[in-house]
């Protein structure tokens, strides 16, 4: 395979560049990310469709990753119960080194060929579920070995990688290859690869939640009322949808039923 992610940066002598030059050049590289994702949309669409189907039939989704990509998937998953009101445990993350070590970056754990599958087994992984492996290089042992076990056990697996023809893509039923090119700092895949991963996680989770009916029109009608800011936003959504002009009346109704969606269902009865 060609390790594009490890190829030399297109820029030399970074230490001699001014702040203005550095930021302009990094920005020029970042512009390439959306174009790379656009080329991968057909495969990404297949992956999202498979995720939606598994979740509609009572399955769960598992992000499986290490390093920057794995940590970014944690950020995506932890916000979904609040934003869309889904039950915890529907979207999960298996992170090399464990979620309890999220901020410690134990990168040596990505070489563990048993831990990923063992963690999936602890969650009672089954063919009803779907696993999405995350690896910029496409070779991370933690991810590769787990996806191979998924394949052997008839568990649907996809992946997000940034090199073409990688072993992880070969182990995944639905590979998504987002080729962002050499990094600004040679081999620093927390940069363009990480940006691409974050954008793709947004696409996966948002599209999935919309397809599962967790959004109406363009509104978060199932958002959990966990603080004043979110409650205020929900009150205004309810006022618009139910044509309620009085803020306090709308807030009282919202708090009584717990979400915009439930309040609307009660109003429309």
164: buried, middle or exposed (CB in 10 Å: 19+, 13-18, 0-12)?
A: middle
Catalytic residues: 79, 110
Q: What number of CA atoms fall less than 13 Å from residue 19's CA on the CB side?
A: 0
CA distances, 133 to each of 7, 39, 121, 158, 167 (Å): 23, 19, 16, 6, 12
**3-state DSSP assignment of residue 129:** coil
* Gap between the Cα atoms of 57 and 53, Å rounded: 6
CB 176 within 8 A of CB 196: no
Phi-psi bin for 89: left (phi > 0), alpha (psi -120 to 50), beta?
A: left
List all residues 6 or more positions away from 200 whose beta carbon is below 8 Å from its beta carbon. Answer: 37, 44, 160, 176, 178
Going 241 to 245 to 251 to 253, the CA torsion angle's sign is negative
């Amino acid at each position: 395979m060609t390790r594009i992610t490890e190829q030399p940066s297109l820029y030399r002598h970074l230490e001699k560049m001014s702040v203005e030059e550095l930021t302009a050049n990094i920005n020029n590289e970042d512009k390439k990310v959306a174009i790379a994702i656009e080329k991968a949309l057909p495969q990404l669409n297949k992956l999202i469709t498979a995720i939606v189907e598994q979740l509609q039939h009572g399955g769960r989704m598992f992000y499986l990753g290490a390093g920057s990509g794995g940590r970014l998937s944690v950020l995506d998953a932890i916000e979904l119960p609040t934003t869309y009101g889904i039950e915890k445990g529907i979207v999960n993350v298996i992170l090399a080194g464990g979620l309890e070590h999220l901020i410690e970056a134990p990168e040596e754990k990505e070489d563990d060929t048993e831990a990923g599958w063992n963690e999936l087994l602890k969650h009672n992984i089954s063919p009803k579920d779907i696993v999405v492996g995350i690896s910029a290089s496409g070779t991370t042992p933690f991810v590769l070995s787990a996806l191979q076990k998924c394949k052997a056990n008839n568990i649907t697996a996809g992946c997000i990688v940034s090199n073409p023809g990688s072993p992880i893509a070969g182990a995944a039923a639905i590979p998504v290859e987002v080729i962002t090119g050499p990094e600004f700092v040679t081999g620093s895949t927390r940069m363009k690869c990480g940006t691409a991963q974050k954008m793709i996680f947004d696409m996966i989770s948002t599209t999935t939640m919309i397809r599962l009916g967790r959004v109406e029109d363009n509104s978060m009608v199932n958002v959990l009322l966990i603080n004043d800011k979110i409650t205020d936003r929900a009150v205004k959504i309810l006022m618009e949808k139910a044509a309620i002009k009085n803020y306090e009346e709308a807030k009282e109704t919202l708090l009584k039923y717990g979400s915009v969606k439930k309040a609307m269902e009660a109003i429309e009865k």
